[in-house]
Homo-oligomer: A and B are copies of this chain.
């Protein structure tokens, strides 16, 4: 009957049961301290990735997790809370890695005097693709890729709150790294980089359909190896602003 303890701040489990867990505790006797939570997160991650936020019901999720329907509301307050918790579990470490790599870029700048665009792109895109290498990370990679285009307000809220702060830091550094580009140039090149990253993340299978081969986007090292040079070459191009409205002028 008591109020759900961890529902309002799903990222900070303060439960006594958790505290007991972190001490010694015979591991056989406590067979389900937070097991229900974990089963829900895993089932939700897989189902959201496959069918989208509106495409899955809590009944399907709790069914796959083998737990009661009400458990989802007990642990996560509501459907959006469960969705957000799925993201928080993965995005935290990912953002940490992003920040670490970005700091390394800025540190290198102090020595060489210039920012390496390829390294900045690597620091931004790399962690977001490497989550696929973690156990269970592959499905989350697809989930987050699809979330980028999901119009549901619940999804937009989660994506904005979790990704925006770090993304803004990268935009700032990239702006400094590309002094030859106008704000408009940067806008379109970022659109290209962001779109490519999200498309690889989502891995909709469309290209495999079109090419017919048995190619895969799962290998994050291969993805980085091909993507970074392409995008870096794009950012290296000179500014393209200004001329689009004119009709005929001799080139440059």
Contact = CB atoms under 8 A, between A and B. Distances in A.
A10 interface: no
A244 B215 contact: no
Contacts of A92: none
A187 B199 contact: no
A134 to B, nearest CB: 20
Nearest to A202: B149
Interface string A236-247: 010010011000
Interface string A40-70: 0000000000111011000000000000000
A184 to B, nearest CB: 6
Contact of A215 (B187, B223, B226): B187
A29 interface: no
A209 interface: yes
Interface of A: 50-52, 54-55, 145-146, 148-152, 160, 164, 167-168, 171, 183-192, 194-200, 202, 204, 206-207, 209-211, 213, 215, 217, 221-223, 225-227, 229-231, 233-234, 237, 240, 243-244
Q: How many copies does the complex hold?
A: 2
Tell me whether chain A's interface is mostly helix, strand or loop, or mixed: helix
A184 B208 CA distance: 11
A155 to B, nearest CB: 10
A149 B152 contact: no
Contact of A207 (B194, B199, B202, B231): B194
A199 B190 CA distance: 10
B230 A237 contact: yes
